[in-house]
Amino acid sequence: MSRYKSKQTVYNPQKKKDVPLWRLDTNTVTVTHFNADTLTEEHKTYHTDYIRYHLHYTDSKYPDRLRRLVNEGKIIE
């Protein structure tokens, strides 16, 4: 499917570039958050079929809603 990234970026000194604060990968159903305080990436992967189906459905029907949730950091909720 596709990958969504938040508009907000934070400088990652390990990669020496700006990285998005939130990312959503709909293929692996993984939400990644870059914690600016600890300079680490936190990953949350979902394994249930319901969430996988819902995410793919929302990606195909309502991509703007999904993009808004990633930008606001509410995708984890």
Residue 1: pLDDT band (50, 70, 90) is very low
Q: Give me the amino acid identity at 22.
A: W
Q: Provide the pLDDT for residue 52.
A: 92
Q: Provide the pLDDT for residue 77.
A: 80
Q: What is the pLDDT of residues 4-59, one digit of tens each?
A: 999 999 999 998 999 999 999 998 999 999 998 999 999 999 999 999 999 999 99
Residues 6 or more apart in contact with residue 23 via CB below 8 angstroms: 3, 4, 5, 6, 31, 32, 33, 70
Q: Is residue 24 in some structural domain? A: yes
Q: Is residue 77 in some structural domain? A: no
Q: Provide the pLDDT for residue 62.
A: 94
Q: Is residue 47 in some structural domain? A: yes
Specify the number of domains making up the chain: 1
Q: Is residue 66 in some structural domain? A: yes
Q: Is residue 31 in some structural domain? A: yes
